[in-house]
Amino acid sequence: MMKHAVLCAAGALSLLASSALASDRYQSRPPVIVSPDLTAPWVTQLGGGNVQPVVYPVRPGTRRVADPRMEQQGNPQVRQVVQPRGLFSRPVVQQVAMARPQYPAIRGQIDPQFLPQIVDYQTKEKPGSIVIDTNNRFLYLVMEGGKARRYGVGVGKPGFEWAGAHTVTRKQEWPDWTPPSEMVAREAAKGHYLPARMDGGEANPLGARAMYLGSTLYRIHGTNAPWTIGSAVSSGCIRLRNEDVTDLYNRVKVGTRVVVM
* Catalytic residue annotation: 221, 237
Rounded Cα distance between 71 and 67, Å, is 7
Q: What is the dihedral of CA 261, 129, 143, 170, to 10 degrees?
A: -120
Q: Write the DSSP assignment of 91-130 as a string of letters.
A: PEEEEEEEPPPP----TT---GGGS-EEEE---SSPTT-E
- Pick from 219, 220, 216, 212: which is nearest to 240 by CA? 220
Return all residues near 164 (Cβ < 8 A) that are at least 6 apart: 259, 260
Overall residue count recorded for the chain in this entry: 261
